[in-house]
Structure 1
Amino acid sequence: MAGAAGKVRVSRVRVVRLAGLSLRVRPREVAVTIALAVALAVLTGYALTVGKFPIPVPDVLGLLAGRPGPPGADYVFWTVRLPRVLTGLLVGAALGVSGAIVQSLARNALASPDVLGFSGGAATGALLQIVLLGGNALAVAFSSLAGALATAAVVYLISRRAGVSGLRLVLVGIGIAALLSALNRYLLITAELDDAFRAGVWLTGSLLNRTWDHVTIVTVAVAVLVPAATLFARRLGLLELGDETSIGLGVPVGPTRLALFAIAVGLAGAATAAAGPVAFVALAAPHVARRLLRTPGPSLLGAGLVGSVLLIGADLVGQKVFPVSELPVGVATGALGGCYLAVLMGRRWRGGSLR
């Protein structure tokens, strides 16, 4: 990722003196962060009003304030609409932060939880639950989370044998992801028709029919792991400089890398458990955040905000472009992300680097 960061023009730093204190701030970073937060608030508010049962803005505000709405609006808002929007917002944030951590740890602009096999492991866990054990949506979500954690443990342990490095982590992850992909296909083709259909729907990645259980899963992950990630933010930036430099600057590389790896896995696993495999958000959000904020290192807050904006925006596109049969958000992000990945690889190829 260092290579990618080097191609982004860094914003200027200004010293602000307030009540006898000197603070170093980046005006562009502050302004863009506020703009992203406003854009997210607007998209979230709009998403609460649209759908097959539109709810006007005054009624939405009334429902949030605890006042009764028009006939049917209470059920639609509290049982269908709000859980869907909150799940999308939190899943996008979790994927964005997870992607930023993974790219910095791997020092590779093309690394993401998808590439390292975390999403494939989550899919395997969900498929095993659906095909072999059955169970409700909550059981599938927890099995998905367990699959992601187990896959991450295997990837890390194999990579660690010869010393964890960015390239080794990516290569091992790609290999594990390929094996899991083959296993997932086998589970699909040998499953009963009803189970295969249910699994296929889950594998597309969707915010449809989300419940408060899904919201709870990703809320707990974001509330616990994102603050933990911010505590390691400075060390994460130093790790991008390489192990020797980080050690020279006093960073305990091994424990720091393991802690950040666990945080990234937890966020990606919880996001996949709540919404299914949503492609490319974790890959694209950190890139977009860096280019908008022009920070010298990873911006976890920026990546989280961009991830939420991308996911809520993609869900709205899926609802508006295909109003009769909604396009699953995973399909929308996959199409947009594929185009973004092609452009990114083309630019880096012309620049002579694919690091």
Structure 2
Amino acid sequence: MSVDLGRPVAVWRPRPRTSLRVDRRAVAVGLVLLAIVCVLAVVSLAYGTYQLSLGEVVGALTGNGDRRAHTLVVEWRLPRLLFAIGCGIALALAGSIFQSLTRNPLGSPDVIGLDAGSYAGAVIVTLVIGSTAYTDIALGSLVGGLLTAALVYVLAYRRGAQGFRLIIVGIAVAAMLSSFNAYVMMREDPQTAMIVAAWGAGSLASLGYSQLVPFSIALVALLPLAALLARPLAQLELGDDAARSQGVHAERVRLGATILGVAFASLVSAAAGPIAFVALVAPQIAHRLARTAGPSPVVSALTGAALLVSADVVAQHLAVATGLVTVTLGGLYFIWLLIREYRRS
């Protein structure tokens, strides 16, 4: 017996009672996005104050280039590129998780205040405690994000946590935390405060392999958890009752997904600062490209990587922080999305 799903899919049956359904459009979109990321990667490695040819980039990566090209590509530009790809993936997955939890395209860490909470945790660790170690900043960001998530959930809870209420409360909490961060920085030494402020703008410029190694280990450890939660989250979008009827523990999945989403967002904040709007935009672009029922984690991750790498290329061209580019472009999308959601409601 065959079932018409209304769109072309491929079914893989490795065992008699096991099958895997793959959406062909999502696969095609993912491959195109992967190709775009590869092209942008070459542009990122070749472009800069000293421009290199494609042959020089390939030679530097394979160890056959001259010393100058090796220094530019491998030691300076490659860590920044890998950070852009990794941060784009982490932010897109965080946005996909929270948009599934809130069942609202406005649900993302930067909108509901989690980025501001992670930033506040990092500010406290850096300026109040006085530690600049990556692990301490990462732990402070994670704790700040989790406490902010708990606060938003408690304040928005009223016979359940309705998605739009979470977003409104999150915007208010983010505004208060932004004021707190500004107050703490104003009380510190101007030079130190400027360093933290520059980090808060979201920049990939000063990152190297010393930060890339722990970031990559944490990201690789979190990705399997995101894969495990993808199906329960999709079932949870149908409603708690429908999800429970399919054997999903709604509260456990919601709690685990919240912690995982905060971990993804905090991982980026600890390394590069709060890079805004990628988590908001990437899942929605992926959703419209793949035309899936909800945000597709894999397509969202590739979209996030493509967006952040392209934003970083523009930022290098303009000599500004990467976060400034994402805020400018994402802010316009955010305004359009707010108008669209208001008209729909």
Output the TM-score relative to the length of structure 2. Answer: 0.89
Q: Does 1:340 align with 2:333?
A: yes
**One-letter code aligned to 1:89:** I
Cα distance, 1:191 vs. partner? 1.5
1:136 & 1:233 partners in 2: Cα distance?
A: 35
Q: Is the 8 A contact 1:127 1:199 kept in 2?
A: yes
Aligned to 1:66: 63
Match of 1:232, SS state, is helix
Picking from 27, 30, 33, the partner of 1:33 is 30
Deviations 1:204-235 (A, max 9, x none): 10111111133223312321212211112111
Picking from 8, 13, 22, the partner of 1:13 is 8
Cα distance, 1:108 vs. partner? 1.5
Cα distance, 1:34 vs. partner? 0.6
Kindly report structure 1 stretches of 4+ aligned residues shifted beyond 6 Å: 17-22
Picking from 83, 104, 107, the partner of 1:108 is 104
| Structure 1 residues not aligned, in runs of 5+ | 1-9
**One-letter code aligned to 1:301:** V
Picking from 59, 71, 93, the partner of 1:97 is 93
Match of 1:116, SS state, is coil
Cα distance, 1:58 vs. partner? 1.9
Cα distance, 1:63 vs. partner? 2.5
2:334 & 2:191 partners in 1: Cα distance?
A: 34
2:116 & 2:171 partners in 1: Cα distance?
A: 10
Q: Does 1:126 align with 2:119?
A: no
2:142 & 2:93 partners in 1: Cα distance?
A: 17
2:278 & 2:235 partners in 1: Cα distance?
A: 24
Identity of counterpart residues, as a percentage? 39
Aligned to 1:313: 310
* Cα distance change of structure 1 residues 95 and 237 upon mapping to structure 2, 3 Å threshold: same
1:131 & 1:121 partners in 2: Cα distance?
A: 15
Deviations 1:14-59 (A, max 9, x none): 3557899876443221111110111111111221111123333222
Cα distance, 1:74 vs. partner? 2.6
The 5-angstrom pairing of residues 1-355 of structure 1 reads 12-15=7-10, 24-67=21-64, 69-136=65-132, 138=134, 139-156=136-153, 163-320=160-317, 322=318, 326-350=319-343, 352-353=344-345
Aligned residue-pair number:
338
Cα distance, 1:141 vs. partner? 4.5
1:23 & 1:131 partners in 2: Cα distance?
A: 50
Match of 1:298, SS state, is coil
**One-letter code aligned to 2:32:** A
Q: Is the 8 A contact 2:106 2:167 kept in 1?
A: no
1:43 & 1:15 partners in 2: Cα distance?
A: 30
| Structure 2 residues not aligned, in runs of 5+ | none
**One-letter code aligned to 1:316:** V
Which deviates more from structure 2 when the two are superposed, residues 165-174 or residues 307-316? 165-174
Q: Is the 8 A contact 1:103 1:110 kept in 2?
A: yes
Deviations 1:310-349 (A, max 9, x none): 10001111222x2xxx111100000000111122223333
Output the TM-score relative to the length of structure 1. Answer: 0.87
Q: Is the 8 A contact 1:207 1:328 kept in 2?
A: yes
1:14 & 1:160 partners in 2: Cα distance?
A: 39
Q: Is the 8 A contact 1:114 1:279 kept in 2?
A: yes
Q: Is the 8 A contact 2:61 2:73 kept in 1?
A: no
Cα distance, 1:154 vs. partner? 4.0
Deviations 1:172-223 (A, max 9, x none): 4334323211211111221111112111101110111111133223312321
2:142 & 2:271 partners in 1: Cα distance?
A: 9
